[in-house]
Amino acid sequence: MKEAYPVIDGAESLFFEGNDTGVLLCHGFLGTPQSLREVAEGLADQGYTVSVPRLPGHGTHYKDLNSCSFSDWYLEIENAYLELDSQCREVFVIGQSMGGTLTLDLAAQYSGISGITLINPAMDIPAFSHLEQASVPLYIEEGKPDIKDPGAVEITYTHTPLTAYQELLKYMKVVRRKLSGIRCPLTCFVSRVDNVVPPENTDYILKKVSSQSVSKYVLENSYHVASMDYDKEQIIEELLSYLEAHSSIDHRKKVSP
């Protein structure tokens, strides 16, 4: 799809070149790579190669979302994964909210992914279900991002096309049918209080996947956009431990005696 509006300053895709372990980060619905910047930088500081693509229709103007399908979003993530996979010996994927949906879809397609991490992943959002067959309003007014920290400012939209919500709802249904095909190691972060995606989504995913290695961390002091909230340092710390535990590559610096 071709976007009609320029990218908002700060919403651009991110890439940090590092070692042979690649980490792909997927932002959520209406978000941008900015929502994952601190997590991405935390991983890159430890030497990992990190990619955070901007999903089509995001980070420009909400009218650009009128022309997007969920296939456009998936293809962007798939292309970013294939690029990382061509550069690195192994690739992990991390997704927040709808980014978690995209991550699960990707893992169902590519068995070579070394592991996935989900942050408040979206599989079913009952509060949006009334929009599935709606024809009005054409644009839905958005409230403030669901972040507990009042000092955090996320780049997002003030309005969203109804069609974009309908694409999200369709996509979650599509991915729910693919969960049993996921076998790679999986870890989840779930906020105890999430005012957008019910925390039960995470338990549903953990029950449906076929992964032998699964784990869950409860975030006590964050809302939905946890990567920008009070628990972001905990997320980074746990992610680094997870990557070290599941990587097949020893990145530790060799120290001469």
> Which residues are known to be catalytic?
97, 194, 224
Q: Which helix (H) or strand (E) holds 42?
A: helix 37-44
Q: Note if the bond before 137 is cis, omega within 30 degrees.
A: yes
155-158, long-range: CB < 8 A, 24+ apart:
155/8, 155/10, 155/11, 155/31, 155/32, 155/34, 155/35, 155/59, 156/30, 156/31, 156/32, 157/30, 157/61, 157/62, 157/65, 158/62
